[in-house]
Amino acid sequence: MIDARGATAVAIADGVRAGKWSARDVAEQYLDRIARLDGALGCYLLVDADGARRRADAVDAARKAGRDPGALAGLPLGVKDIFCTRGVETTCASKILKGFVPPYESTVTGRLADAGAVMLGKLNMDEFAMGSSNENSAYKPVRNPWSHAHVPGGSSGGSAAAIAASLCAGSIGTDTGGSIRQPASLCGVVGMKPTYGRVSRYGVIAFASSLDHPGPFGRTVEDAAALLEVMAGVDPRDATSIPSPVGAYRAAARAGANGPEPLKGMRLGVPDEYFQPGMDAEVESAVRAALDELARAGAQIVKVSLPNTKYAIATYYLICTAEASSNLARYDGVRFGYRASDARSLEEMYTRTRGEGFGTEPKRRIMLGTYVLRAGYYEAYYGKALRARRKIADDFSAAFANCDAIITPTSPIPAFKFGEKTSDPLQMYLADVLTVGPDLAGVPALSQPCGFTKAGLPIGLQTIAPALGEEVCFRVAGAYEARTKWHEQLPPEAAS
Amino acid sequence: MSRITADEVRELALLARLRLSEQEVTAMTDNLGAILEYVDALRALDTTSVEPMTHAVPFDCPTRDDVVKPSLSPDEALANAPRRDGVFFQVPRILPGAGSDAEGGGS
C-alpha cells in the first residue's frame, strides 16, 4: 500500500492502474488523514466520504472488469468550493450560497471524474475567490501547514494547504489575480494558471469572467501537468474556451528532467520591474539562486522589461470589481441561496438578502465595481483600465519577442500572519503585485517551491510563458525541480 | 477631502441593492476613498489611441445549431428556491397596493 504522506498524484494513479493498490484503500487513507488532521488546518468545507468511497469503488470495479480506469485512476482530489458539483453542496465560502446544491456538474470536475479522479470533498477559499489570505472565508480560516500562525494565501488557500499537508494528492482552484499561484507559493506546492480559455469555466462560479482561470495544484510539476492534461480543452459550454489541441504537459515536465542541460537553447527573461523595493530579501536571494540553477540547466538568462507593471494592481482592481459587481447581481434571494426572512417588499428582500448574505470583501468589491461602471465614471475608470490592460498585455508580447519564458518571484513576501493585512484592504491587494500581470495578459504561469526563509516559510518561483505555452512552463519548472529538493520537504501534518 | 462621501456610498449601496449598516457605510467610505486614490495613478498612463482590451484572448462568438436538447426538469431547476409555489419561484409583492404584503404560503 502506498504511503499517503508526501505521495504524488501520478504515483498513486499509476499504482491504481497497475493494480498495485486499490482506489478504495487510497481513498480510505486520505479520509482518515482528513479526519485526524484537518480540524487544525481548516482546508475542507465539506468532506464527501460516502461519495468518495462510491467513486473509488467504481474505479476499482472498472479496472477489475478490464476497462481503462482513467489516466488519474484513484487520484484523491480536493475541489475548491467554487466548482459546481452535482448533488454536493457548493458555497463559494459564502453565507449567501449556504445550502446550495448544484443541479449540474462543472466541466472540469466532470472531466477529472471521467479520468478516474476521486473527489474527497470541497476546499475552503476566500469568499467568492476575493482575497489573498483565505481570511475572507465566511466559514473558517485555513492555516498554513508550515506555520499555523501564518495564512496559506488565497483565494485558493484550501487547495494549496491540502496538497502541502497531504490531505489530497491533487487539487483544483481558480486564479483571477493570483489565486492559484500565490497560495501555492505560500504553502510550498506547485500551482499552475493556464492560458485564459485553455480550461473551461462552465460550472465555475463567476467572479470576474474575463480574468477567471481554473487550474491545478500538485506536489510536483508532473502532478500539476497530469491534472491539466485532463482539465484542458475546448468546451461547447464555454464560448471563450480555446479550440487548439491540448499539449503533452506531462511529457514536457519530464523532458525538463532529462540530461545535464535540459534547457539548452532557451532564453529566460528577468524583468527588473518584478524585483522592487519592498521585496523580502530572503525571497529575492532564493529567486536569484534559482536563476543561477536554471542557467546551469543550460538556459540563457536575459534582461527583459515590463514597463507598465506599476499600473497592474490599479488596472486589475478596476476590471475585476466591475465584472464582479455584474456577476454577483444574480444573488438576489429569488432562485437559490440565502433569502432574508420576512421582507415586506421585493426591494427590501433584495437589499437585506445581499446585505446579510455577503461578507465585507464581496460588498466592498460590488460597491467599487458599481462605482466605476456608473454613467459619468465609466470611461474615466473602467474604460481607462481596459486600455491599460492592453498596454500591460503588450508588454508581455514585447518581452516574449526576446525570451521563451519570464522568471520572477511569485509573491514579494512569504506567508504573513493572520490579521496582519485585514485592516487595510489596499495592503492586501498589493500582495498580488507579481501575479496579476499574467492574468490581465491571459498568459500561462506556474509557481513552484524554490526555497524557505530562515523561519521555515516556503518561497515560490514563477515561470510565465506566452499564450498556449503551458509546455514551456512545465519544461522549465520540471528542469528546476529535477535539480532541487525543495518539493521533497514536508510540513508536520504531511509527515504524520 | 476623500474621493467619495458617505452620502455617495449610501446611494451606491442602493444601486447595488446592498443594505449597509451605518458602521459599514463609515468603513466603506474610508476604504473606497483610499482605493480610488490609489487607482488615480492610472491617469499618468498615456492610453491615447489604445484599443480597450475586453478579453485576454481574441475570439469570435461561436454559434451552435438551434436544436432542443434535454435540460433540467422544473423540479431540479426549482430545487434550490428559497420559496416556491408549484412550478414558480415565489417572491414578496412587487407592486404596492391593497392586500397582504406577506410572502404567503408556498410549498
Mind listing the pLDDT tens digit for each residue in A334-381?
A: 999 999 999 999 999 999 999 999 999 999 999 999 999 998 999 999
B64 CB neighbours in chain A (<8 A) are 236
- Quickly state the pLDDT bin for A1 (edges 50, 70, 90): confident
Query: In this predicted structure, what is the pLDDT of residue B106?
Result: 38
Q: Does an H or E element contain A193, and which?
A: strand A190-193
- Quickly state the pLDDT bin for B98 (edges 50, 70, 90): low
Could you say which of B19, B27, B43 has the minimum Cβ distance to residue A352?
B19
Chain B closest-CA separation from residue A186 CA (Å): 25
DSSP A61-88: HHHHTTS---TTTT-EEEEETTB-BTTB
Which chain B residue is nearest to residue A328, measuring alpha carbons?
B16
Q: Which residue has the higher pLDDT, A121 or B102?
A: A121
Chain A closest-CA separation from residue B1 CA (Å): 18
pLDDT digits (tens, 9 = 90+) for A173-211: 999 999 999 999 999 999 999 999 999 999 999 999 999
| Contact call for A364 and B32, based on CB within 8 A | yes
- Quickly state the pLDDT bin for B104 (edges 50, 70, 90): very low
Any domain includes B53: no
Q: What kind of fold does domain A9-307+394-495 have according to CATH?
A: Amidase signature (AS) enzymes (3.90.1300)
**In this structure, are strands B84-85 and B88-89 parallel, antiparallel, or unpaired?**
antiparallel
B38 CB neighbours in chain A (<8 A) are 313-314, 426
- Quickly state the pLDDT bin for B107 (edges 50, 70, 90): very low
A424 CB neighbours in chain B (<8 A) are 34
Residue A276 three-state SS: coil
Q: Considering its fold, how many domains does chain B have in total?
A: 1
Chain B closest-CA separation from residue A218 CA (Å): 26
Q: Which residue has the higher pLDDT, B54 or A157?
A: A157
Query: In this predicted structure, what is the pLDDT of residue B105?
Result: 41
Query: In this predicted structure, what is the pLDDT of residue B2?
Result: 67
Q: What is the C-alpha R_g of chain A?
A: 21
Find out whether A7 and A27 touch, Cβ atoms under 8 Å: no
Q: Does an H or E element contain A284, and which?
A: helix A281-296
Express as a percent the part of chain A with pLDDT over 70: 100
Could you say which of A101, A313, A389 has the minimum Cβ distance to residue B79?
A101
Query: In this predicted structure, what is the pLDDT of residue A105?
Result: 98
Residue A353 three-state SS: helix
Find out whether A213 and A223 touch, Cβ atoms under 8 Å: no
Query: In this predicted structure, what is the pLDDT of residue A380?
Result: 94
A314-331 as b/e: b if 16+ CB within 10 A: bbbbbbbbbbbbbbbeeb
CA distance linking residue A189 with residue A156, whole number of Å: 12
Any domain includes B25: yes
E strands within A284-323?
A: 300-304
Could you say which of A338, A388, A440 has the minimum Cβ distance to residue B42?
A388
* Interval A95-111 mean pLDDT: 98
Chain A closest-CA separation from residue B47 CA (Å): 6
CATH code for position B27? 1.10.20
Any domain includes B67: no
Could you say which of A370, A440, A442 has the minimum Cβ distance to residue B16?
A370
User: Mean of the per-residue pLDDT values for chain A?
Assistant: 97
> What's the count of helices (H) and strands (E) in chain A, helices before strands?
17, 11
* Catalytic residue annotation of A: 80, 155, 179
Express as a percent the part of chain A with pLDDT over 90: 94
Confirm whether the ipTM is greater than 0.95.
no
Query: In this predicted structure, what is the pLDDT of residue B97?
Result: 65
Instruction: Select from A36, A365, A290, A29 the least CA-distant residue to A169.
Output: A29
**For A43, how many CA atoms within 13 A lie in the half-sphere containing its CB?**
35
The domain spans of chain A are: 9-307+394-495, 309-391
A335 CB neighbours in chain B (<8 A) are 80-81, 89
Q: Which positions 18-37 of B are in contact with A (Cβ < 8 Å)?
A: 18-20, 24, 27-28, 31-32, 34-36
End-to-end CA distance of chain A: 16
Chain A closest-CA separation from residue B6 CA (Å): 12
* Interval B22-39 mean pLDDT: 96
**How does DSSP classify residue A108?**
H
Query: In this predicted structure, what is the pLDDT of residue A429?
Result: 87
Q: Which residue has the higher pLDDT, A156 or A493?
A: A156
A432 CB neighbours in chain B (<8 A) are none
* Interval A409-414 mean pLDDT: 96
Phi and psi torsions of A15, nearest 5°: -65, -40
Give bridge partners of residue A171 from the DSSP assignment. A78, A217
B66 CB neighbours in chain A (<8 A) are none
Any domain includes B72: no
DSSP A207-261: SSTTT-EEEEEESSHHHHHHHHHHHBS--TT-TT---SPPP-HHHHHHHTTSSS-
Contact residues for B19 (Cβ-Cβ < 8 A; gap 6+):
A351, A352, A354, A355, A356, B13
| Contact call for A370 and B62, based on CB within 8 A | no
* Interval A271-292 mean pLDDT: 95
pLDDT digits (tens, 9 = 90+) for A118-150: 999 999 999 999 999 999 999 999 999 999 999
Any domain includes B40: yes
Find out whether A44 and A80 touch, Cβ atoms under 8 Å: no
**Interface test mutation site (partner A, options B3, B17, B31, B54, max chain A beta carbons within 10 A):** B17
Any domain includes B30: yes
| Contact call for A354 and B17, based on CB within 8 A | yes
Residue type, B2: S
| Contact call for A387 and B50, based on CB within 8 A | yes
Q: What is the C-alpha R_g of chain B?
A: 23
Instruction: Select from A402, A414, A459, A441 the least CA-distant residue to A271.
Output: A402
Query: In this predicted structure, what is the pLDDT of residue A329?
Result: 97
Residue A288 three-state SS: helix
Which chain B residue is nearest to residue A99, measuring alpha carbons?
B80
**In this structure, are strands A445-452 and A190-193 parallel, antiparallel, or unpaired?**
antiparallel
Chain A closest-CA separation from residue B38 CA (Å): 7
| Contact call for B19 and A354, based on CB within 8 A | yes
Contact residues for A134 (Cβ-Cβ < 8 A; gap 6+):
A124, A125, A126, A141, A142, A151, A152, A153, A154, A155, A157, A158, A183
CA distance linking residue A395 with residue A315, whole number of Å: 14
- Quickly state the pLDDT bin for B103 (edges 50, 70, 90): low
Query: In this predicted structure, what is the pLDDT of residue B99?
Result: 53
**Interface test mutation site (partner B, options A104, A370, A430, max chain B beta carbons within 10 A):** A370
Query: In this predicted structure, what is the pLDDT of residue B64?
Result: 84
Look up the domain containing B23 and give its range.
Answer: 6-44
| Contact call for A351 and B19, based on CB within 8 A | yes
* Interval B59-87 mean pLDDT: 91
User: Mean of the per-residue pLDDT values for chain B?
Assistant: 88
E strands within A333-484?
A: 405-409, 445-452, 458-464
pLDDT digits (tens, 9 = 90+) for A413-424: 999 999 999 888
Contact residues for A341 (Cβ-Cβ < 8 A; gap 6+):
none
Contact residues for A90 (Cβ-Cβ < 8 A; gap 6+):
A81, A82, A83, A84, A97, A100, A101, A102, A122, A205
Which chain B residue is nearest to residue A320, measuring alpha carbons?
B54
The pLDDT of residue A83 is above 60? yes
CA dihedral (A328, A227, A452, A289) positive or negative = negative
B53 CB neighbours in chain A (<8 A) are 386-387, 389-390, 393
Dmax over Cα atoms in chain B, in whole Å? 59
Find out whether A254 and A478 touch, Cβ atoms under 8 Å: yes
The pLDDT of residue B95 is above 80? no
pLDDT digits (tens, 9 = 90+) for A31-52: 999 999 999 999 999 999 999 9
Query: In this predicted structure, what is the pLDDT of residue A205?
Result: 98
